[in-house]
Amino acid sequence: MSTYQSRDELTDEQRATLERAALQVIGAREEAAAMIRAEMEPPPDMGWFGSPCHAKLPFPPYPPCGCRDYRGDGGPCTSPILVPDLGEGSLFPTRPCGHRPSQHVET
Ligand SMILES: [Zn+2]
Ligand SMILES: [Zn+2]
């Protein structure tokens, strides 16, 4: 594609393709990590394990989501994250990340 398209301008079909592609990247990372762990403890400076979420939470000061690895089947991520205490509605210290696979593939 020659011109940059923001996520908001994508069609539903393009979005679905994006999520499928992202899920494949995440799956490939998991497989690669499993391959290495089968033989050794991965060196701690190898930061390409896991697919942390790069979304920011939708309230000031917009902290990073904090989810460390995507879990799910292509839909919203089910990994529990710790949310800052927001007062109302924050009785539970964790909630699902809820972000899409495409938000977990940036490095
Ligand atoms: Zn997540
Ligand atoms: Zn997230």
Give per-residue pLDDT as tens, 4-52: 667 778 899 999 999 999 999 999 999 988 898 899 887 777 666 789 9
Residue 1: the pLDDT is 46
Distance, CA 2 to ligand 1 centroid (Å)?
Answer: 30
Q: What is the sign of the dihedral through the CA atoms of 68, 69, 71 and 75?
A: positive
pLDDT above 70 for 53: yes
**What is the mean predicted confidence (pLDDT) over 60-83?**
90
pLDDT at 61: 83
Ligand 2 center to 76 CA (angstroms): 9
Distance (Å) from CA 23 to ligand 1 centroid: 12
The pLDDT value given to residue 74: 93
End-to-end CA distance of the chain: 21
**Alpha-carbon span 36 to 82, nearest angstrom:** 29
Query: Whole-model pTM?
Result: 0.75
CA pair distance 34, 47, nearest whole angstrom = 14
Q: What is the pLDDT of residue 101?
A: 96
